[in-house]
Amino acid sequence: MSQRRAFLKSAALAAVSVPFLSFDNKQTWSLEPLLDTFQDPEAYWRMVRKQFPLKEGQTYFNNGTMGPTPGYVLDTMINHMLHYNKEAATIDYKDGSGPELLSGYFPYLELREKLARIVNCDHKEISLTQNATFGMNYVGMGLDLKAGDELLNTNQEHGGGFGAWQTLAKRKGCVYKQATMPVPANDPQQIVDAIFKEVTPRTRVIAIPHIVSVYGVVMPVKAICEKARERGIFTILDGAQCVGHVDVDVKSIGCDAYYSSLHKWMLAPAGSGLLYINKEVVGDIWTTIASYNWDNQEDHGFRLMQNGTGNPALIAGYDAAVDFFNSIGKERWLGRIKELGAYLRDGLKDMPHVTISSPTNEDMAAGITTYAVNGLTGPELQKTLWERERLQPRSVGTELLRHSVHIYNSKEEIDKALTVISDLR
């Protein structure tokens, strides 16, 4: 509790110089309620739901695409944007805070330190990026690859998860390969075997998802990285669906690089990304976008985030989202997602007209559940849930529906979805 109160104090101090102006004058957005301990856990989560400006009577079940931003984060970001535009002449370089009108040139040590504590690494191993795709490309384009080097993905990558590797294969004459993953995946060893079936002495890179975007499979990445390391293979994990969703400990996993989009499960503003590269290998990664500090050998994370002028209000919102997460606490936050995901899957398992494509092995599942209902396409099922109860998951492909749950959702909302699906029998 003392650690979470320290985060609250830090966030409050950061906002002292900024005049308060809320985007919703009927609400006072604050981290303070998040620190309370409720005897009734459901009462606590009802309070958390009120921290989001989501419309009442509608239920958002598509966090796997984009997380809704908490009111506190929106207030911080909008406040920053208004203040630094209104006071541009006053601030500028006159009092030394002019650089705060910009972003993309500065190390943002405090934010990177917070993120490093969440994923367990040194802050100098963290770069702030726009999203997972940026992280993937910074690493892929920074590697020294040559013709004949083999690059291994899976056949279940996100649409953007193979782009860098296919580009490199075409540009440099590398060999691009995909390992075929099982559906549904309930045995970690099957996944490990499927990947290493494609590995040869020429395999240079294994680039795979930590969580499969479509099916929500939590991959056995630690075992995969360990076997790859024994063979001298560089490992990079697509964690777009992971930070703020499951526990991410990059040192325990043992990967060489890891990237994520925190505007998903961390509920940060759109454009909030993270890239980790192990300090033992980062010196071999060339700078992709070069600016003032392109050759900084003291802080490689800073070296790889030289993006030029950007939106500093976005960084303020990013930082506020991390404070929001820390105020609730990682264990409570991740535990709630896992609880709601299992609750949904338990309800679907009893329905004979439902086929679950996600893992039913709970060690390999979290907040994403993908399924099909006999007689309906994915778009038809999505439309039915919306028309009957204003529930909004997301259809994927022609047959499947992907259902994401997060801390702003409730068991009552899941029950509504289960009732509609049951009625379709």
End-to-end CA distance of the chain: 47
Q: Residue 17: what pLDDT? A: 40
Q: Is the model's pLDDT at 400 over the cut of 90?
A: yes
Tell me the percentage of the chain whose pLDDT exceeds 90. 78
Please give the pLDDT value at position 88.
80
What gap in Å lies between CA 368 and CA 378, rounded to an integer? 15
* Amino acid sitting at position 141: M
Asked if pLDDT for residue 322 goes beyond 60, the answer is: yes
In this structure, which amino acid lies at residue 153? N
Please tell me the distance from the alpha carbon of residue 176 to that of residue 170, in angstroms, as a whole number: 9
Which two tokens mark 377?
């396409």
What residues are paired with 179 via a beta bridge? 154
**How high is the mean pLDDT of the chain?**
91
Delineate the domains of the chain, giving CATH numbers in brackets.
332-423 (3.90.1150.10)
The total of other beta-carbon atoms located within 10 Å of residue 293's CB is: 18
Per DSSP, the residues of 112-154 read HHHHHHHHTS-GGGEEEESSHHHHHHHHHHHS---TT-EEEEE
What pLDDT does 19 receive? 44
Distance, CA of 65 to CA of 96 (rounded, Å) = 39
- Calpha distance 128→169 (Å, rounded): 27
- From CA 264, how far away is CA 69, in angstroms rounded? 9
pLDDT at 86: 85
CA 225 to chain centre: 20
pLDDT over 80 at 56, yes or no: yes
Helix (H) / strand (E) containing 71:
helix 71-86
- CA pair distance 142, 134, nearest whole angstrom: 12
Which residues have a Cβ under 8 Å from the Cβ of 11 and sit 6 or more positions away? 31, 76, 319, 320, 323
Distances (CA, A) of 237 to 52, 234, 286, 401: 30, 10, 18, 25
Q: What is the pLDDT of residue 20?
A: 52
* Pure H helices in 329-364: 330-349
Place of tokens 């020429």: 202
3-state SS assignment for residue 33: helix
Pair of tokens at residue 250: 């990059």
**How large is the average pLDDT for residues 95-119?**
84
What's the DSSP call for residue 286?
A: P
At 92, is the pLDDT very low, low, confident or very high (cuts 50, 70, 90)? low
d(CA 130, CA 151): 24
Q: Residue 239 above 50 pLDDT?
A: yes
Mean pLDDT within 135-142: 94
- Give the predicted TM-score (pTM) of the model: 0.92
d(CA 239, CA 209): 6
**Structure tokens belonging to residue 415:** 């029950």
**More confident of the two residues 418 and 92:** 418
List pLDDT tens digits, range 168-221. 999 999 999 999 999 999 999 999 999 999 999 999 999 999 999 999 999 999
